[in-house]
Amino acid sequence: MTNNSAHKGHLYIISGPSGVGKSSLLKRLLANHSNLRFSVSTTTRQPRVGEQDGIDYNFVTQEQFLSDIDKDLFLEWAVVHDNYYGTSKTQIQTMTDSGLDVILDIDVQGSQNLMKKNIGGIYIFIAPPSIDELRKRLNGRGTDSADVIATRLKNAEKEMSFMDKYPNIVINDDLEEAYKKLENIIYGGGIK
């Protein structure tokens, strides 16, 4: 699809446990596809080293987030790993109205909320080859404390139980293979 305001952009909704490789896959997808944009979520989580406000997330206080909920600014929001995360309605609307495709990296609760609201899009779950490998990736990333990693691993098991609700599943074992599969789902006609 070209960036033409006569056509509405598509939504691609990606979920999967923390550390599975969503950001790694999406960064590459965004670099290779000029009509694709990232939905910058709002969160109360603290920025990690290297994360930029307005690019990775809009980082806000809990007070601000609760006020945004009251103003009905979110298409969906959820509490994930003890922090609030939400998708801005206007951001998505502005981008899709101008013909841009938008990719959302949101948790399983957020995806379920969008499915229940009948928000049309391509829903994709990224799964790890094993929980052991997930633990290795979270430790290897080196961005989170042992406590934070423990919470994320505990939540991973529950998140994995949502996998069968997704029409598209990509197992991120070998990064190259997973990227090809994801790209094929989105651009190669492998969409469900």
Binding residues (CB under 6 A) for ligand 5GP: these are 18, 41, 45, 76, 78, 80-81, 85-87, 105-107, 109-110
45 binds, among ligand 5GP, ligand ADP, none (CB under 5 to 8 A by kind): ligand 5GP
Q: How far apart are CA 44 and CA 9, in angstroms?
A: 28
Write out the residues near ligand ADP by the rule CB under 6 A: 16, 18-24, 137, 140-141, 172, 174-175, 178
Q: How far apart are CA 3 and CA 154, in angstroms?
A: 41
Residue closer to ligand 5GP (CB basis): 34 or 139: 139
- Residue 28 φ/ψ region, left for φ over 0, alpha for ψ in the -120 to 50 degree band, beta for the rest: alpha
80 binds, among ligand 5GP, ligand ADP, none (CB under 5 to 8 A by kind): ligand 5GP
Residue closer to ligand ADP (CB basis): 93 or 129: 129
106 binds, among ligand ADP, ligand 5GP, none (CB under 5 to 8 A by kind): ligand 5GP
Residue written as token pair 């979110």: 74
Write down the least CB distance from residue 45 to ligand 5GP, Å: 5
State the virtual CA torsion across 51, 139, 167, 160 in degrees, nearest 10: -130
> Quick count: other Cβ atoms within 10 Å of Cβ 128?
21
110 binds, among ligand ADP, ligand 5GP, none (CB under 5 to 8 A by kind): ligand 5GP
Alpha helices in 3-101 (DSSP H): 22-32, 62-70, 89-97
